[in-house]
Chain A
Amino acid sequence: MLVDLAGGWNPMWGRLAWSQIPYDNPILAPLFVAVVVGAILVLGLITYYGKWTYLWKEWLTTVDHKKLGVMYILIGLVMLFRGFIDGLMIRTQQAWAVGAHSSGVFGATHGYLTPFHFGQIYSAHGVIMILLAATPLLVGFMNIIVPIQIGARDMAYPYLNALGLWLTAAAGALIMISLFVGDFAHNGWFGYAPIFELQYSPGVGVDYWIWTMELVALGTTLGGINILATIIKMRAPGMTWGRLPIFVWATLSANVIALTSFPALQVALALIAADRYLGAHFFTAGLGGNLMLYTNLFWIWGHPEVYFVILPAFGMMSEIFPTFSEKPLFGYITMVLASMAIAGVSWLVWLHHFFTMGAGPYVNSAFSVATMLVGIPTGVKVFNWAFTMYRGRLTFNTAMLWAIGALFLLLIGGLTGMMLAVPAINYMVHNSVFVVAHFHTMLLVIVYAIFASVIYWFPKVFGFKLDEFWAKTMFWLFSAGTVLVFVPMYMLGFMGMTRRLDYVFNTVWHPYLLVMEFGIAVYMLSVLAFVALLYVSIRDHAKNQVGADAWGTSRSLEWLTHSPVPFYNFAVLPHISARDEVAWRRDNGIDHVQPDHYEDIHMPNNTGVAIILGGLTFVLGFALVWRIWWLCALSLLAIVALVIYRSFKGDPGYIITAAEVEKMEKEALRREAQISK
């Protein structure tokens, strides 16, 4: 052992011990029982209905970009819910533990969470929401939509795509298991040096945090490579750069960021691991370590990451506004330039996350001005969406409502962002709940864009529309929750309330915290409305079936093929003639023209290697957290062996004959003809 570990360690079990299971925790123990019962129930139902073969063949081993995308989105939604519950717990603690006379239960002097548990919850909330909710949700949509929008049959590397998904799933599993075995980091989602060092965080929480983030980072990097290769090399004939749908441009700019920034995070985390596992001193306060270096390294990734998640959201909005305005996007070229400009500037602004660290006025000024530059392309985007509506014919479908909501949130987030970009203002509100309110406003732009996309692209993937009544109910409840939680939060920021307080010393802030708690309850109602939305929509799916062009006013290529999209995407790869191909074909009356003959289609085979690698990576992560070295070695060896094995084996793919394609196409056309009747 190179470092002194608090608590025991043995060669067999590492740091693992029965005492690490929080069976005496009044919140976690019942949850654990519920999870176990739920899991047994789900597994039992799958066995009862004999769905294991279906699950394995159609989902777990699939390399189909649409199914992988759907699974990404499912992971994202589950983690979004987990993150929301964390948020609810944070809000409840802050609404309860106010003033010296507030009561305390479960070992807390005030409220129901001890400081250590509170720290774990807000750290998990941040990691989950950014890396395991927003990122998988957006990657999911990129996965589903991008290949169809550029007229490809699949991603450039279908197996790599599956691997990215299962690495993300492994990361999600790792952070979930930290609930029941051991604990999680309390150092915030971005971590501070040197609080994550062994002296100040002697438990396994920080290790869970390191390896969860490493796994997501690895998965997202692999995904970025894949998406870039797909966009560059897999476009249908005639799909020139100038005709690329705007969401593809957004995805391209986002993944340039991902590919170039995630390695910085991986290195930073690896250096923390060196400190914690090998007794190195990269980020310690003494012995030559430099704790400010960590903050720089983290935000060199962290800020580009912000744009990695917001650019696809902008792309989604740029698809939805034209469809429901029934006219082309205003200023396509400007929009592309703006996306690329945001991606470029994203590299030059990281220091604005720590203006208060004491860099000199020249450094702070430079980063302040660079940060404001982001406001230019972003402002242009807002104006372009507004002018897309100008002279349009607007339908306020729920997808459009979410998109308009995102636009207004972006205006507010832009206003507060420009405030934070000025160091003189930043000093007063940095680390206050004002900052929390600001970045939640921006992340809600993403959430709004995602729900807009769920409504908008759901019929493309599943062949039927979501129920409009429940969708609208969910939208209005969610928006009411947003106002009730974040308006008081901005106000509290101006009142000087700082972030991450597990005990609130100022009773003047109490009414605002209670309003926020009420807002969280309204958010909870919107979650229930979402469940109702899914239930009602699936129940009535026969009524709401749609043809290829689900909205009748859609513009980009994905609406050319059937809904739901056949696994080969297009029976015959389309030849692209215009920027908004489907709108162009509709205007020229050739949108229903079918190919006169079909050809053989070459498709990739399914593979079980990806999910097995995901499982092994999870084992490796768990073994690293608990320092079970033999298991680390074993799982690492298995991973390397499997990767090499698969590399030599390759995948020749398989052929769908023209006759089979014709049969499936006829069936799909027959179905569409029925719907239009």
Chain B
Amino acid sequence: MQVKWRNSLKNGWRYAALAPILLLDGCAGNSYWIFDPKGLMADTSLFYLLVDVGIMGTIVGLTALLVVWFMWRYQKGKNRGKYDPVWSHSNTIEVVVWGIPIIAVGVLSYFAVVGTFEINPYNPTVISKQRKPASDPVEVDVIATDWQWLFVYPQYHMAVANELVLPAHTPVFFRLTSTAVTTTFFIPQLVGMIDVMPGMRTKNALESSNIGEYQGIASDYAGAGTSWMTFKTNILSSADFGQWVQRVRQSPTSMTYTSFNNYADPYINVHHKVAYFSSVQDGLFDHVIDEVMNGKTWPIPPMMTENMVAYMQKQNAQHRD
């Protein structure tokens, strides 16, 4: 019921609100990732965005018109409006100018609080309560290094670097940590941002019913390689996902605690290289957090990025590319 009115509201408002922007952008409307969500989490965010812009946009728009009208009416020498050199107080206006923001903030606060619980990254009620999942959730442990993403699938004992593949119509629960510095995990069309921090565990979740490829971004500055620290997110049908899992399992490489230690050294992923690991030592995620909390770091050599061209040659020479 609630979902229904929200959906019609959302679709109506979406096109009304976006019309000017879409017109500006011609037919490439879907390049506005925030307005083109493909998953439950991002969809919910868009709903609140439209509610907020609807309420605030009305007030701000009317205020702007009021100011323009005053500017026109009371311009000196035009004699359009009456000049009153002492008028500076009115109880009615005071009540109105305090009242409007108070009411607006009251209404928006309600939506803000409800929305915060709905897409709370630790337990999003849009995923956990409002739908019956079509299949069992998929768990993904995300480990950010300088400057790559490792996605560990603990249920399948395998891992993939710099590519995230997920089944459609399935809740996905992430646990996230980082080896070195702080960054942020972000897939604009699927789920909002969550910080990824060394020695810490954050969570996030998503669910998508749209098969397709979506951009993932490291959206917080993590040093020299941040701009190349992107990943593609593929949402596949469950059959295709099963096949993909089989493909990863045939990969000759595997990931152990020791090999992770080398993998986590600073590396700029200029060529968006993807790597499959057919098996992963159990508990890698918790092992990384423990290591970091006990003082393990993966330092950056001084001046490694003074000259990017020279650094890339060095990285190539080390056969890490």
Interface residues in chain A, defined as those with a beta carbon under 8 Å from any beta carbon in chain B? 6-7, 104, 107-109, 114-116, 119, 186-188, 192-195, 199-203, 284-287, 291-292, 325-332, 334, 354, 356-358, 360-361, 364-365, 368-369, 372-373, 375-376, 378-380, 382-384, 386-396, 404, 407-408, 411-412, 414-415, 418-419, 421-432, 491, 493-496, 498-506, 508
Contact = CB atoms under 8 A, between A and B. Distances in A.
Contacts of A432: 219
Given A119-B221, A119-B223, A424-B115, 11 more contacts: A202-B299, A287-B294, A361-B116, A365-B113, A375-B104, A393-B74, A419-B49, A422-B115, A427-B194, A430-B184, A494-B34
Contact of A292 (B35, B49, B66, B200): B200
Interface in B165-204: 180-182, 184, 186, 188-189, 191-195, 197-200, 202-203
10 contacts: A192-B220, A328-B88, A331-B89, A356-B195, A358-B121, A358-B203, A391-B84, A424-B49, A428-B188, A501-B227
B181 A116 contact: no
Contacts of A395: 76
Contacts of B227: 115, 501-505
A386 B302 CA distance: 55
Nearest to A358: B202
Q: Which 6 A-B pairs have the closest CB atoms?
A: A427-B192, A424-B115, A496-B188, A379-B101, A285-B198, A496-B33
Contacts of A394: 70-71, 74-76
Residue of B197, B200, B221 ringed by the most chain A CB atoms within 10 A? B221
A177 to B, nearest CB: 19
B109 to A, nearest CB: 5
Contacts of A502: 226-227
A496 B30 CA distance: 11
Contacts of A408: 64, 67
A420 to B, nearest CB: 10
Interface string B90-101: 100110111011
Interface in B263-321: 270, 292-297, 299-303, 305-310, 312
A383 B67 CA distance: 9
Interface string B23-35: 0110010011111
A354 B202 CA distance: 13
Contacts of B254: none
B53 A419 contact: yes
Contacts of B64: 408, 411
Nearest to B297: A199
Given A391-B83, A411-B64, A109 B270 contact: yes
Contact of A495 (B34, B202, B294): B34
Contact of B109 (A368, A415, A431, A500): A368
Contact of A192 (B24, B181, B191, B199): B181
Nearest to A413: B60
Interface string B1-38: 00000000000000000000100110010011111000
Contact of B101 (A119, A369, A375, A412): A375
Given A7-B302, A414-B60, A383 B97 contact: yes
B215 interface: yes
A425 B104 contact: no
B56 interface: yes
B56 A419 contact: yes
A429 B25 CA distance: 20
Interface stretch (B40-48, B134-142, B153-161, B236-244): B40-48
A557 B200 CA distance: 57
Contact of B81 (A193, A291, A383, A391): A391
Given A404-B71, A428-B45, A327 B87 contact: yes
Contacts of B198: 194, 285-286, 291
Contacts of A378: 101
A531 to B, nearest CB: 30
A388 B84 CA distance: 11
A503 B308 CA distance: 12
A500 B228 CA distance: 12
B307 A107 contact: yes
A329 B60 contact: no
A330 B230 CA distance: 52
B112 A285 contact: no
B112 A326 contact: no
Nearest to A381: B97
Nearest to B178: A285
A524 B225 CA distance: 31
Contact of A390 (B70, B76, B225): B70
Contact of B56 (A115, A327, A418): A418
Nearest to B304: A116
B299 A199 contact: yes
Given A365-B116, A376-B98, A498-B217, A428 B63 contact: no
Contact of A331 (B82, B97, B104): B97
A369 B56 contact: no
B93 A387 contact: yes
A506 B98 CA distance: 45
B193 to A, nearest CB: 4
Contact of B192 (A356, A375, A396, A506): A356
Contacts of A7: 302
